[in-house]
Amino acid sequence: MTPDTRFTHAAAALGCSFDGEIKAGGNYLPLRRDGHTLYVSGQVPRIANTVVVTGRVGRQVDLHQAQRAAKICTLRALALLQRELGSLSQVQQVLRMTVYTQSDEGFTQLSEVADGASDLLHEVLGEAGRHARTSVGVYQLPKNASVELDLIVAAQP
């Protein structure tokens, strides 16, 4: 299977479709390219116009739901990369991912939330999907999203 096929399967398994264009609302871009380096904007777990996992992780949202949120964020980032590059097989390597979790005060399983995203990157991209990572627990996220993440990616030269 190609990365694009694995992406389609992973999206279907999570009940997601990204066929419409993913737009940024203001004077910014979902993705900015500098030569072979691609900067992907922070993605929340939105499907169509709805953020599907909201609330504080460890209080309204449990670890499993937060991991699902992280996977949906990752799928959105991959959809943007696929649209930019034509195919996910053009991803040379994912360089960095930063995962922000809207946490409850005592919730420390931030690496475990981020594992949802890392596992999906590896599932779709294989070794190219392995990345440097930072996971932090923040106080609030846009539209009350439970998770937000961004990527820096190197494309094939």
d(CA 17, CA 22): 11
Which SS3 state, helix, strand or coil, does residue 69 take? helix
Site for its own copies in 6-25 (CB under 8 A): 24-25
Q: Which of 16, 97, 124, 146 binds its own copies (CB under 8 A)?
A: 97
Residues 57 and 107: beta-carbon distance below 8 Å? yes
Helix (H) or strand (E) run with residue 138 in it: strand 132-138
Site for its own copies in 98-157 (CB under 8 A): 98, 100-101, 103-111, 114-115, 118-119, 121-122, 129-144, 148, 150, 152, 154
Binding letters toward its own copies, positions 34-63, x by CB under 8 A: x--x-xxxx---------------------
Compute CA distances 122 → 18, 111, 115, 129, 132, whole Å: 20, 16, 10, 5, 13
Give the pair of three-digit tokens for residue 76.
């959105």
Closer residue to its own copies, CB minimum distance, 11 or 125: 125
Residue 98 identity: T
Binding site for its own copies (CB under 8 A): 24-32, 34, 37, 39-42, 93-98, 100-101, 103-111, 114-115, 118-119, 121-122, 129-144, 148, 150, 152, 154
